[in-house]
Structure 1
Amino acid sequence: RSANKSASMSSSFLAAAAARAADGPVLATSSGAASPKVTVLSEKMAFLAAADFWDKESGAPLLRRNANFLVANEPLSDALHERLKRWPELCGADSSDTQVAEEGCDDEAALRIFLRDAERTFRDAGHQTRMIALLKRVWPENKDYHQGLGYIASLLMLLFDEDTAVSILLRLTRDERYTPGYWKAAPDAYVRDAMVYSRLIEERHPQVHSLLARACVVPEAYASKWFIGLCIHVLPFAALFDFVEAFLAEGFLFLFKFSIAIVAATSGRLLEYQPTDVNKILEVLRLDVGLYPDDYEDGVFFSRLVADAKAVHLEKEQVLSLREEEGERLAEKMRKAREREAALAAESDDEIVFSDEEDD
């Protein structure tokens, strides 16, 4: 490209992003022209709105499964831009009930994890700093953290201004339609739902369920990639955006539908393995990039997988009933575990011999 064309493109990024800042939550720009009154991007603008984004983030871990869906140094297409405009509306993030406490986060352990996750996600120090700042804003909601939150936050920061990204995250962790309780270091809500998923697989794919049981592969060991991380780092971006849209539209029910679809799509390969092939089984269930590269089956595999998930028939009432049953089972398991821990602690205390009790 000529220097004039490159300068024009950069100007287009700045113009369209600044012009839309007052109109709504969209990050990046479409290919349409814009005549902004402001020419400086806010520090809270979406990362993709910056003309130098690709110079800074080419090869960033977050983009490893982009597969050229977001085209480097090009504005978003009009069609994608219109899709993204709907995301906040789909989950209710365009409402007024998306405020968060202003206290931020001063938990030193959490801040260290935020830093590590930001470094694992973006290459640019400025982007890492902004990701940490956003995670600090969301922290008061749960006063806890799971890496899956970092995954979702980073994707939203590509696409939306910071305030909109926070609003979407708050809806996901507050609204019962989505996944409250998932973003904790020990997410009981997720473990319960992983147990529900296992029940659904036992019903619909008994041979796969039997294999996983004999292999001692528990669902919470791998299903977090779909349930908590929303398939970020799992699906190529074209399919990922379809996945996220379906989740925002349907809520938690879509996660169960997707889990059923992924087992259906991989059952043939899974049933070739023996219970001793634990690592191979997990590679399949996690859609490991070595087995399922971006161009697997010419890329159709992933888009078809999400489409099949949308078509799965699953009654919400069944999931809610199973949630209640598995929630009770989980609570009982945790109660027994606490009792065992208390008994072991008591035995340990009984075995302590103090110096004044020792024989001379």
Structure 2
Amino acid sequence: MLRRADFWKEESEAPLLRLNRSFLPSDEILQKIEDNAEDDFVTNFDHVRIIRLDAERTFVNIKQRTTLMHVLSFLQNEFNSYHQAMSYVAGFLLLTNSPTKVIEKMRQLHQNVLIDYWTEEPVAFATDAYVFDYLLADYYPDIHQHLSKHFILPETYTQKWFTTLCVGVLPFKALFQFFDTFVTNASSTSTNIFLFQFALSLTKHIREGLLQTKNVAVMYQYLRLDSSIPQFDAKLDELAVSIVDKAKDYDLSSYDFVKLREKAYNEKLRSRLEAAKRSHDERKVSITSSSSDHESEEEEEAQPITMKTLVNRMENLHIE
């Protein structure tokens, strides 16, 4: 997209470019674009409402929105699922890749690295959020205790790091570096371990300010590197680049992530999911025995309380 003749005229105010901070257009980035020409990728799928809305939240011009909608609709059909984070990652990748290349990269991430992250019921993501919680307790127990004391649960702040791959969190200078490092590591290891390294690096970099505040809203601002934090705005690019650079310093090879994920699911999620299922089953029984006059209304209210519902009810979880 960056090579489209009117891209900057049309997209200078695009939500996706909010954290560009004058990094693009960059000759260095343009030279890395492998696709000499964009393919005319179209699909025959009807674009569902959420995909149309996500395209509007990403680009300004109908041309860029349409390209993104075609890509997302194709992926939704192939994955048989959709998650809002897909629009963030695909939108960013479209800046420097053809639609066909973006689909290929998204497919590789979905199948080999972010397995079951981009689903309507992201239990895999929630599990990894608690795996990070264990790592945080090991490395920085003071931060872990501080967040726990204020009931800030890991799935309420790691989503912006893990499922959207920091699109909307990191300024573009650091974001391009993050993607280069993450994709390189993921290609060689087929794991998402770099996400945990990055998360530890980020929490270390914001440690001092985070521990000094007792305001929950401000804590979330620190966790998403919000430029409204005065000390962030002037040096946000420098801070973010340092976070990405230092991530590789965390050697997590001694951890058994298979066992950590089993532990996280069994200790943190299993009982919640089972309780949600019991609640849903009980409500279904209640609906069955209720009068037919109210049946349709109550059925609508009694949708399953699944991990998606539980996660979405957490404070600040919805991606904006």
Cα contact 2:227–2:236 (8 A) shared by 1: no
* Residues 266-318 of structure 1: CA deviation (Å, up to 9, x unaligned): 111111122xx211111111111212787533731111111111221212743
Give the structure 2 partner of residue 152 of structure 1.
Answer: 89
The residue type equivalent to 1:194 in the other structure is A
Is 2:122 the counterpart of 1:187?
A: yes
Quickly say closer, same or farther: Cα 1:104–1:174, change in 2 above 3 A: farther
Quickly say closer, same or farther: Cα 1:163–1:294, change in 2 above 3 A: farther
Give the structure 1 partner of residue 59 of structure 2.
Answer: 122
Quickly say closer, same or farther: Cα 1:193–1:105, change in 2 above 3 A: farther
Give the structure 2 partner of residue 220 of structure 1.
Answer: 155
Matches of 2:61 and 2:81, distance apart in 1:
26
Give the structure 1 partner of residue 313 of structure 2.
Answer: none
Match of residue 80, structure 1, among 25, 29, 36: 29
Partner-residue secondary structure (3-state), 1:59: coil
> Size of the alignment, in residue pairs?
281
Give the structure 1 partner of residue 206 of structure 2.
Answer: 266
Quickly say closer, same or farther: Cα 1:293–1:64, change in 2 above 3 A: farther
Structure 1 residue 336: Cα displacement: 2.8
Match of residue 6, structure 2, among 52, 61, 82: 52
Structure 1 residue 202: Cα displacement: 1.3
Partner-residue secondary structure (3-state), 1:121: coil
Give the structure 2 partner of residue 89 of structure 1.
Answer: none
Give the structure 1 partner of residue 73 of structure 2.
Answer: 136
Structure 1 residue 215: Cα displacement: 1.0
Between 1 and 2, higher relative CO (CA 8 Å, sep ≥ 6) is seen in: 2
Higher Cα radius of gyration: 1
Give the structure 1 partner of residue 282 of structure 2.
Answer: 343
Match of residue 306, structure 1, among 222, 237, 244: 244
The residue type equivalent to 2:205 in the other structure is A
Pairing 1:23-62 to 2, within 5 Å after superposition: 47-62=1-16
Match of residue 68, structure 1, among 17, 22, 25: 22
Matches of 2:82 and 2:212, distance apart in 1:
37
The residue type equivalent to 1:70 in the other structure is L
Structure 1 residue 164: Cα displacement: 0.6
Cα contact 2:30–2:96 (8 A) shared by 1: no
Identity value in percent: 30
Cα contact 1:104–1:140 (8 A) shared by 2: no
Structure 1 runs, 4 residues or longer, greater than 4 Å off = 81-86, 102-106, 292-295, 347-350
Matches of 1:52 and 1:194, distance apart in 2:
40
The residue type equivalent to 1:124 in the other structure is N
* Residues 238-293 of structure 1: CA deviation (Å, up to 9, x unaligned): 1001111111122310000011111111111111122xx21111111111121278
Partner-residue secondary structure (3-state), 2:167: coil
Structure 2: gaps (5+ residues): 36-41, 187-191, 294-320
TM-score (norm. length: structure 1): 0.72
Quickly say closer, same or farther: Cα 1:280–1:135, change in 2 above 3 A: same
Matches of 1:67 and 1:148, distance apart in 2:
22
Give the structure 2 partner of residue 174 of structure 1.
Answer: 111
Partner-residue secondary structure (3-state), 1:68: coil
* Residues 40-92 of structure 1: CA deviation (Å, up to 9, x unaligned): xxxxxxx1111211111111111111112112xxxx52x43565559xxxxxx
Matches of 1:172 and 1:180, distance apart in 2:
7
Match of residue 184, structure 2, among 238, 241, 249: 249
Deviates more, 1:209-218 or 1:339-348: 339-348
Quickly say closer, same or farther: Cα 1:81–1:54, change in 2 above 3 A: closer
Quickly say closer, same or farther: Cα 1:111–1:186, change in 2 above 3 A: same
Partner-residue secondary structure (3-state), 1:313: coil
Matches of 1:272 and 1:298, distance apart in 2:
19
The residue type equivalent to 2:81 in the other structure is D
Give the structure 2 partner of residue 230 of structure 1.
Answer: 165
Is 2:131 the counterpart of 1:196?
A: yes
Partner-residue secondary structure (3-state), 1:263: helix
Cα contact 2:136–2:200 (8 A) shared by 1: yes
Matches of 2:32 and 2:127, distance apart in 1:
32
